[in-house]
Chain A
Amino acid sequence: MADFLLAASGFVLLMVAVGLARILRGPGDADRMMAAQLLGTGGIAALLLLGAATGEDAVVDVALTLALLAAFASIAFVKAARTASRDEAATGNEK
């Protein structure tokens, strides 16, 4: 069972990595904002599977912290992207 959970953890991580390679390239900020979202969820899933495989119970607390802080980071991202686009509009450089 442990090996199966480890393999699943590795698979989820691989999927996240491929997805990251796509969205970090852009083209827009919105795609990049998804990076935090994607890694938040995928990272939590990989972490939980890893914790179950190794029998480390405290990993669930790490995942809980990650869930809260990844949400916070995503929202900070959107706010920052908005600030930037408002500045561009103000200086007449909006694309």
Chain B
Amino acid sequence: MSVALNVLTVVAVVAGAFFFLAGTVGLLRFPDTLTRLHALTKADNLGLGLVVLGLLPHVGSVLAGIKLVAIWLLVLLSGAVASQLIARATRQRDPDA
């Protein structure tokens, strides 16, 4: 059982790290602000989500597990709002972007 959970952790954390890598590559390679924003938000929401999933088998208590999931949901919510606001600010400044 614990071996299976360890495998889950390794797979999920590696997948999460891959999404952080993908996000960074997107930030470096994409040509303008809106596409870079796209790369950033996709990467960090999925990346953090997979890292949280991977860490869930290792928490000591139910409360700690709830907190982990709550952190991910909070980041999803605030990430969605912040990227909306950033994208809107970009458009207002430069409507052709």
Contacts and interface: CB of A to CB of B under 8 A. Distances in A.
Contact present between A and B (CB < 8 A): yes
Interface of A: 1, 4-5, 8, 11-12, 15-16, 18-19, 22-23, 28-31, 33-34, 37-38, 40-42, 44-45, 48-49, 52, 57, 60-61, 63-64, 67-68, 70-71, 74-75, 78, 81-82, 85
Given A1-B9, A81-B89, 4 more contacts: A8-B16, A38-B23, A42-B44, A60-B68
Contacts of B21: 11, 15
Interface of B: 6, 9-10, 13-14, 16-17, 20-21, 23-24, 27-28, 33, 36-37, 40-41, 44-45, 47-48, 51-52, 55, 58-60, 64, 67-68, 70-71, 74-75, 77-79, 81-83, 85-87, 89-90, 92-94
Chain A interface mostly: helix
B20 A11 contact: yes
B22 to A, nearest CB: 9
Contacts of B27: 18-19, 22-23, 38
A40 B71 CA distance: 11
Given A28-B90, A81-B89, A15 B71 contact: no
B33 A45 contact: no
B24 A60 contact: no
Contact of A12 (B20, B60, B70, B82): B20
A62 B77 CA distance: 18
